[in-house]
Amino acid sequence: MLKARVLTALVLGPALLAAVWLLPTGPVAAILGVIAALAAWEWTHLMGLKDTGGRLLALALFVVTLAGGWALLEIESAVPVVLVGAVGWWVLASLWTLAYGFGRGDGPPPLALSAAVGWVVLWPCWLALVYLHGHTPWGPFWLTFLLLLVWAADTGAYFAGRAYGRHRLAPRISPGKTWEGVAGGAVLAVAVGAGLVAVLQPHAPPWLYLVLLLVAVVVVSVVGDLFESMLKRRGGLKDSGGILPGHGGILDRVDSLTAAAPVLAAGLAWWQWAL
């Protein structure tokens, strides 16, 4: 499984980074939209929708809202507000996950709630990624920064957990995750993020603000991972899909990113607004 996981990452990671640096924002938004749509398709399975027609309708409605998001990005004053709202959602999601970890809320949530949750998880993530690429100074850098930050946190947590993991983080949600793994992932992610900024010298916030933002992004990325794991357990699923060898589905690969992207984008948006 580790071999398949590494090979998949080695193929898809550089391809995505090449697109981020070589393509303008429109095509990047389209690529990210396809990934978001695939994740939304998997979400309809997570919701418990069995009817193919119903799943296609839900997917079509989601894609329409992506087009609306593209138009929203042109309203400069609206985007920071939307992003802060997305951050607020992840605060609620963390409380929901915590409650489940303490033994509350078994069984899948109602269908309408599952659909709404899927939208507030996936749509703001897509919006934040496109905003980072096309609406911030050094846009390709900040999108790459986010991707490498999340990948570093995931990789560091995986290897630190295997080597030193003793204390389980959330045994009812994800028995394999440990506090030691989270700490290892956080250290690697902050080191990678700070190193990228120090070496490449982008247009960036002051160091104190940046480090606090880095820590917030890493912490909420763990919440995103646990939140999707919680929903899979409530729905009786092991993986969201099987499209990515060694990784499961699209949702299994982007769960941390869905939470991390709005937080980084909101932090940068409000820093720019305060200039």
Name the residue ranges covered by the structural domains of the chain. 2-274
Round the average pLDDT of the chain to a whole number and report it.
Answer: 88
Closest CA to 259 of 226, 211, 212: 226
pLDDT at 101: 85
Whether the pLDDT of residue 246 is over 50: the answer is no
Q: Is the pLDDT of residue 82 over 60?
A: yes
User: Does the pLDDT of residue 2 top 60, yes or no?
Assistant: no
Cα(157)–Cα(189) distance, integer angstroms: 10
Confidence of residue 252 (pLDDT cuts 50, 70, 90): confident
Amino acid at 64: V
Is the pLDDT at 12 greater than 90, yes or no? no
CB-CB neighbours of 179 under 10 Å: 16
Position with higher pLDDT, 116 vs 235 = 116
CA atoms lying within 13 Å on the CB side of residue 54: 11
pLDDT higher for 267 or 232?
267
Supply 174's token pair: 């994800």
Query: Residues 200-229: what's their mean pLDDT?
Result: 93
